Amino acid sequence: MRYKAIVIGVSAGGLDALGIILPALDANLPLPVLVVQHISPQSDSYMVKHLNAICSITVKEAEDKENPKPGVIYVAPPNYHLLVEPDGVMSLSMEDRVNFARPSIDVLFESAADAWSPDLIGIILTGANEDGSMGLAKIKSCGGLTIVQDPATAFVDRMPKAAIAGTTVDYILPLDEIGPLLNQLTNSTIME
């Protein structure tokens, strides 16, 4: 199979954005999906419960030293960075904030690029800061595939614009086209 994982970074407007993309994913998705959504350190588990209720694949909070499984969406817990170790195992960290955020998109994307590139798909969605632009650039420079939400369709366009300015992006799409593209990319690779 061509790809090993999908990583998604999102901030302001994220619950609505994820609520369009993630339910569109095939029930037999052959990859794990790791998500960083900027959330308050005091957040409860509403987002995970909501997404789990509307998706055909399992959505759960990532756990320290957990091995990501295909067909599962892992969400970074509040106030923890989500990283991917060189052997592909997930880890959680309370190290300093990056881009004013913990969890930080750049932290996930850069560690995932080290572990899985070039077999990694990185996606930046709506958001009000520039977190994720450096991580997406690293995924691209390591040979991975990059997707950014069309800034014109974003709740807040700063994060998509920063990602587009920071690297060559393979696809710039509205939300409703990202899920079908992921299904096409991951299903077509099974037959190779």
Q: Give pLDDT tens digits for 69-106.
A: 999 999 999 999 999 999 999 999 999 989 888 999 99
Residue 156 zone, left/alpha/beta (φ > 0; ψ -120 to 50; rest) = beta
From the list 81, 106, 131, 133, the catalytic residue is 131
pTM of the predicted protein model: 0.95
- Domain boundaries, position 78: 5-190
Residue 166 maps to which CATH number?
A: 3.40.50.180
Residues 6 or more apart in contact with residue 99 via CB below 8 angstroms? 105, 106, 129, 130, 131
Number of domains comprising the chain:
1
Q: Is 87 a catalytic residue?
A: no
Q: Is 81 a catalytic residue?
A: no
Q: Could you read off the pLDDT of 158-168 as tens digits, one per residue?
A: 999 999 999 99
From the list 11, 104, 111, 117, the catalytic residue is 11
Q: Is 131 a catalytic residue?
A: yes
